[in-house]
Amino acid sequence: MGPLKGIRVVEMAGIGPGPLCGMLLADMGADVVRVGRLSASDLGFDVALRFDIMNRSKRAVALDLKVPAGVEAAKELIARADILIEGFRPGVMERLGLGPAECHAVNPRLIFGRMTGFGQDGPYRNLAGHDINYIAVTGALHAIGHKSGPPLPPMNLVGDFGGGALYLAMGVLAALHEVKASGKGQVVDAAMVDGVVSLMTMVFGYRQAGFWRNERGSNPVDGGAPFYTTYLTQEGKYMAVGAIEKRFYGEFLKRLNLDPKDLPDQNDQSRWNDLQAKFAEVFATKTRDEWEVIFAEGDHCVSPVLDMDECITHPFSQSRSMFVTVDGVTGPAPAPRFSRTPGKVTRGVADPKADTHDTLRHWGLSDARIAELASGGVIPPG
């Protein structure tokens, strides 16, 4: 199943963007093995293993990479892989003896995918950081938030997952295509700061054109415009409005039973506060469910704001089968969708302590070699 069937991926266990990238590849049919530590958890937070959905559909092994025998075992997997992805700070893989030079020595066709926050070079390369730090130095964080408030972290969607995992996945797949012609692997350097700047392409252009203001909450699509924001409903829930284009805006006003002749012009920024106040007044007269019925059809760009629990059970997501449940845990279905070779969640989250022997056997290591590694304490005893 999946367009990546037959592709083998070694994922060096980590947190955040690396695991999500591995999940995307696994959902598309790649055989992904997560190489974790022998003596400690690789999870970023203290949650039960089965809830770490980003590690679904993967195999798992636990190796002691602090000893030469463990490094050699890792190389045996890498020699059989098409792609390797790692998310350590610069220099860590080299210190382990698993840098690009060592890996390409055993597998010249290997795509070596590297995920960092600040990049492999530059003055910040060795600094610790998280999503909030990466989006802070790229202009993204400054642009997000209410006009009267501080910058507001958009969870860790922009740096870790948007600028990180998705760009790493795109990069390794592009390199996988290129290796068919050249026969040579290469390093894919996916720094989250680079990915976030790329995501900001449109905004950087608009800023230089004088169309985008540096003040948060003052622009057409940052919550500043009354036609692109959220409104509180009667019972304290919200509706989201994105009626930018004239025809959508006209339909939006019609559903609110408002006459444009009685309102300030849509693009008169000096009157945006007045316009927003009027819309807020109208939305407060009905519940979210009532507004959802009113906006159920037509071109108006208005939707109910659902929380994560509501999203799973809402008729819209149910109609598209947007979620799947494995081992009692519900997570997003594979995306994107393919017409002939659909992706599939093949299993829940593997426990490396229990899965190591089967995974090594599946990847071609002999029973004798597995027993040797186990007796040497390099892998779990089985």
Give the helix ranges, DSSP H, for the chain.
17-27, 68-78, 92-96, 100-106, 131-136, 166-182, 192-199, 201-208, 246-255, 272-283, 288-294, 308-313, 315-319, 352-362, 367-375
Residue type, 122: G
Judged by average pLDDT, the poorest of 43-57, 84-98, 326-340, 366-380 is 43-57
Neighbours of 315 (CB within 10 A): 7
301 — phi, psi (to 5°)?
A: 60, 50
Q: For residue 46, what pLDDT is reported? A: 78
pLDDT in tens, 252-292: 999 999 999 999 999 999 999 999 999 999 999 999 999 99
pLDDT in tens, 101-142: 999 999 999 999 999 999 999 999 999 999 999 999 999 999
Q: For residue 41, what pLDDT is reported? A: 62
Q: For residue 382, what pLDDT is reported? A: 78
pLDDT in tens, 31-59: 999 999 887 665 567 788 999 999 999 99
Active site residues: 130, 160
pLDDT in tens, 163-197: 999 999 999 999 999 999 999 999 999 999 999 99
Neighbours of 184 (CB within 10 A): 12
> Across residues 297-317, what is the average pLDDT?
97
pLDDT in tens, 49-102: 999 999 999 999 999 999 999 999 999 999 999 999 999 999 999 999 999 999
Neighbours of 76 (CB within 10 A): 15
Identify which of 244, 113, 120 has the alpha carbon closest to the alpha carbon of residue 179: 113
**Domains of the chain from N-terminus onward:** 8-199+323-375 (3.40.50.10540), 228-318 (3.30.1540.10)
Q: For residue 212, what pLDDT is reported? A: 96
pLDDT in tens, 200-238: 999 999 999 999 999 999 999 999 999 999 999 999 999
Quote the tokens at residue 34.
């997560």
> Across residues 285-314, what is the average pLDDT?
97
CA atoms within 13 A on the CB side of 285: 7
State the chain's mean pLDDT as an integer. Answer: 96
Q: For residue 42, what pLDDT is reported? A: 58
Q: For residue 43, what pLDDT is reported? A: 58
Q: For residue 44, what pLDDT is reported? A: 64
